[in-house]
């Protein structure tokens, strides 16, 4: 590519939480990049870019579905790299739309990769999930890419199927695919689709009771958005293929997270326990992130306190700026 030619990158689901930050980071760090976002706006919103993207001349936002062949032909023209983040996400949405979840994930990913090959795309990143691992006893943690795994949710099964699809196309040799198993990503601009941290932060800032589903001893591996984006871009820009955990490698109980948020937000909120939403909820999660740390130049920069402080401040600013009462449904 000569110096005046722009590299064209497609980000599916680019109006969503992680996608917005990936797009912002790519625009900030690369002068010669042009980004195309494909999103059906079922969750993401075009105006979520307002607070973060200062340079939108190098950005095209296309409303459409990843399963729409005609739109794929349009948006893939000239693209060299695809970040595939579009998916039905969030506990409530996944439970209420099992068929759509499977169809968007599995059929959407297959069609997208086939179209990528037709359009000579070189590199494909798949956003997969720690839900692929299924149930682990706390004694057998952390979760490692080489473990024998058995997903136990529709969403986890669909993500695992997508990873297998990527592997199959890698063997074909016409495209290079890499998949990342995200654990619990959190940070500024995350919506409330059943996500633990945004719900708790808003409840804390409103001094309302903080809801915990079940006993609260469930362990989770929370990773701040900026670290997630850094790992995502570095992994995609490498030549690695296969599956990589993108997690902090540290875990915390849901109860401790609530207590920490109350403390950091200087809130009067009380903790209340409510029944769990789905019996297959994974009890505990913790990533082994040695594979990605040892393969690319990546390290965690935000511990949970630093990440939560940034998150609380961003929601506080947002509430002050829009002078509104933000309410959670969860």
Asked whether position 15 contacts ligand NAD by CB under 6 A, the answer is yes
Check if the beta carbon of residue 106 is closer than 8 Å to that of residue 161. Answer: yes
Residue whose token pair is 């009067």: 268
Q: Shortest approach of ligand NAD to residue 170 CB, angstroms?
A: 19
Q: Which residue is nearest to ligand NAD (CB)?
A: 16
Name the nearest CA neighbour of 308 among 250, 257, 253, 232.
257
Please give the structure tokens belonging to residue 159: 């993500």
CB burial of residue 325 (10 Å; 0-12, 13-18, 19+): exposed
Q: Are 104 and 66 in contact (CB under 8 A)?
A: yes
CA separation for the pair 124, 305 (Å, rounded): 33
Nearer to ligand NAD, 27 or 106 (CB): 106
Q: Is the peptide bond before 225 cis (omega within 30 degrees of 0)?
A: no
Of 15 and 231, nearer to ligand NAD (C-beta) is 15
The CA-to-CA distance between both ends of the chain, in Å, stands at 48
The interface region with ligand NAD, picked from 39-47, 169-177, 201-209, 280-288 by CB under 6 A, is: 39-47
User: Binding to ligand NAD by residue 282, rule CB under 6 A?
Assistant: no
41 makes contact with ligand NAD (CB under 6 A): yes
Q: According to CB under 6 A, which residues from 71 to 100 bind ligand NAD?
A: 85-89
Q: Which of 52, 58, 65, 211 binds ligand NAD (CB under 6 A)?
A: 65
Q: Report the sign of the C-alpha dihedral through residues 300, 52, 122, 87, in that order.
A: positive
Convert residues 177-216 into a mask of x (bound to ligand NAD by CB under 6 A) and - (unbound). Answer: -----x-xx-----x-------------------------
Nearer to ligand NAD, 19 or 169 (CB): 19
Least spacing, CB of residue 253 vs ligand NAD, in Å: 17
| β-strand pairing of 219-220 with 252-253 | antiparallel
List the interface residues with ligand NAD, window 98-157 (CB under 6 A): 104, 108, 127, 129
Angstrom distance (rounded) from CA 177 to CA 168: 10
State both tokens at 216: 């609260």
Question: Is residue 44 a contact point for ligand NAD (CB under 6 A)?
Answer: yes
Report the residue number, 39 or 230, with the smaller CB distance to ligand NAD: 39
26 binds ligand NAD (CB under 6 A): no
Shortest distance, position 25 Cβ to ligand NAD, whole Å = 14
Among the listed residues 8, 24, 27, 39, the single contact to ligand NAD using CB under 6 A: 39
Contact residues for 278 (Cβ-Cβ < 8 A; gap 6+): 91, 95, 153
DSSP state of 209: P
In the complex, the smallest distance separating the C-beta of residue 1 from ligand NAD, rounded to whole angstroms, is 28
Residues that bind ligand NAD (CB under 6 A): 12-13, 15-19, 38-44, 65-66, 85-89, 104, 108, 127, 129, 182, 184-185, 191
């Amino acid at each position: 590519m000569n110096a005046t030619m722009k590299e064209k990158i497609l980000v599916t689901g680019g109006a969503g939480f992680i996608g917005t930050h990936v797009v912002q980071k790519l625009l900030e760090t690369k002068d010669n990049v042009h980004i195309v976002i494909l999103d059906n706006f079922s969750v993401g919103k075009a105006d979520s870019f307002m607070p973060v993207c200062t340079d939108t001349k190098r950005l095209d936002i296309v409303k459409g579905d990843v399963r729409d062949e005609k739109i794929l032909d349009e948006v893939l023209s000239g693209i060299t790299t695809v970040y595939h983040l579009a998916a039905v996400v969030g506990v409530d949405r996944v439970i209420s739309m099992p068929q759509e979840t499977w169809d968007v994930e599995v059929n959407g990913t297959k069609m997208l990769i086939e179209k990528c090959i037709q359009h000579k795309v070189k590199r494909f990143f798949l956003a997969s999930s720690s839900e692929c691992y299924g149930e682990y006893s706390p004694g057998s943690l952390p979760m490692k890419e080489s473990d024998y795994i058995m997903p136990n949710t529709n969403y986890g099964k669909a993500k695992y199927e997508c990873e297998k699809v990527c592997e199959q196309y890698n063997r074909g040799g016409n495209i290079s695919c890499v998949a990342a198993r995200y654990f619990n990503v959190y940070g500024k601009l995350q919506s409330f689709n059943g996500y633990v941290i945004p719900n708790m932060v808003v409840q804390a800032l409103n001094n309302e009771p903080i809801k915990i589903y079940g006993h609260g001893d469930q362990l989770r591996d929370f990773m701040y958005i900026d670290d997630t984006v850094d790992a995502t871009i570095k992994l995609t820009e490498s030549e690695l293929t296969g599956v990589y955990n993108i997690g902090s490698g540290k875990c915390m109980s849901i109860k401790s997270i609530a207590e920490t948020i109350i403390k950091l937000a200087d809130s009067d909120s009380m903790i209340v326990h409510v029944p769990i939403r789905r019996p297959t909820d994974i009890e505990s999660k913790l990533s082994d992130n040695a594979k990605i740390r040892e393969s690319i130049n990546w390290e965690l920069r935000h511990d949970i306190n630093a990440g939560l402080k940034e998150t609380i401040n961003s929601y506080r600013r947002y509430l002050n700026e829009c002078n509104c009462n933000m309410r959670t449904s969860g």
